[in-house]
Amino acid sequence: MFQRKSGGGLTGSGEAPRQIEASGVQGRRSGLGLFFAVTFTTTWTFWLTAILLGGSPTSSPTAVPYLLGGFGPVFGAIAVRIRRGRLGEPVPPRTVRFRQGVRLFWALPLLALASGSVVAGAFLADFLGGTAVSLTEGRELISTVGGIVPFFISMVIAGPLSEEPGWRGTAYPRLRGSMGRVRAGLLLGAVWAVWHLPLFFIEGTVQAELGLMSWSGLMFSLSVFPVALLTGYAYELAGVAASVAVHLGFNATMAVLTVESPLTQACVLGVQVALAGTLLATRRDRRTGPHLQVAPQPGQDDADVSRRIAPVG
């Protein structure tokens, strides 16, 4: 039976208020360490295997470890969810419920906005004398994978669905427990950029074609930061479905327009930085204070609270 203390906290029979320090949210109780450990271990193990096997990431046997490696963030999210369930820990306060109702409709305009940022950057580069905007290679890519439907499915799975439940659905709300949106987004962006590094050594990947020690490789790594800010913004607005939509918009449009030249990449990066800055500046950061109260409402146990709040976290 929970009662409200005069100081505004919640307490049970002989129990002190259940407070989680902001630093604690980011530490042992949050599961962030477990998430990053499982994510990097599984991803890099699979991708190292793909590197050792050699060959194209779309041909056997390299395709199997290559594809499984992309799901490292999901494996990390599952590990954290299992740990939280076993320890009976509450859902992080910054976790966004999956069932957002009408807010889920934000996914479509956010997808269009993400795609539009790539298109705008490509046309800006064209205007500045860079590579002309062309759909020729994009059409060939779609034809190679079997048509628009297989292309769309592959774009949804490889990246958005294999990563967003982990990066945004699990790590991001835990970081947000102790820091603002910009800091959390940039920190996660740095981790995300490092996570991609093995792809530069798998023959046939976009990253390998760009080259790690090249301007294109640098632009790719830098582009992760505004994308991390924008997917984080989308997550706070409408949950994982929205961050998946934003991630999909970026990836699919980059593939269709074959954005590879350093100038085009730089222009897309500039547009996305401007977009992220504008969106974050026009939406107030509702970060909680230094102490996060986590306790069931009267008549509810932790499991009830978790079911009511929890999507992925």
Q: What is the pTM of this model?
A: 0.81
CA distance 198 to 19: 40
In this prediction, residue 101 carries a pLDDT of: 65
The proportion of the chain whose per-residue pLDDT surpasses 70, expressed as a percent, equals 79
Residues 120/271, Cβ–Cβ less than 8 Å: yes
Cα–chain center distance at 126: 29
Contacts of 294 (CB under 8 A, 6+ apart): 18, 19, 20, 90, 93
In this prediction, residue 100 carries a pLDDT of: 58
Paired tokens of 3: 């009662």
91-117: pLDDT as tens digits: 777 677 655 566 778 889 999 999 999
In this prediction, residue 294 carries a pLDDT of: 36
Given a cut of 50, whether residue 55 has pLDDT beyond it is yes
Least confident window among 78-82, 286-290, 294-298: 294-298
87-98: pLDDT as tens digits: 877 777 767 765
In this prediction, residue 37 carries a pLDDT of: 97
Residues 125/267, Cβ–Cβ less than 8 Å: yes
Residues 264/128, Cβ–Cβ less than 8 Å: no
CA distance 233 to 189: 13
The number of C-alpha atoms within 13 Å of 35 and in the hemisphere containing its C-beta is 31
Q: Which amino acid is at 223?
A: S
Residues 104/238, Cβ–Cβ less than 8 Å: yes
CA distance 260 to 219: 9
Domain boundaries, the chain: 16-309
The alpha helices in the chain, defined as continuous H runs, are 22-26, 32-53, 63-69, 72-87, 107-127, 136-144, 148-156, 162-166, 172-176, 181-195, 206-210, 215-238, 240-257, 262-282, 302-309
Contacts of 202 (CB under 8 A, 6+ apart): 47, 50, 51, 57, 62, 66, 208
Given a cut of 90, whether residue 27 has pLDDT beyond it is no
Please tell me the total number of residues recorded for the chain in this structure: 313
17 cis-preceded (ω within 30 degrees of 0): no
CA distance 207 to 196: 9
The alpha helices in 55-106, defined as continuous H runs, are 63-69, 72-87
Burial class (CB in 10 A: 0-12, 13-18, 19+), 242: buried
In this prediction, residue 9 carries a pLDDT of: 39
Provide mean pLDDT across the span 242-271: 96
Provide mean pLDDT across the span 157-185: 94
Nearest to 169 by CA among 266, 256, 246, 239: 239
Quote the mean pLDDT of the chain: 83
CA distance 250 to 179: 26
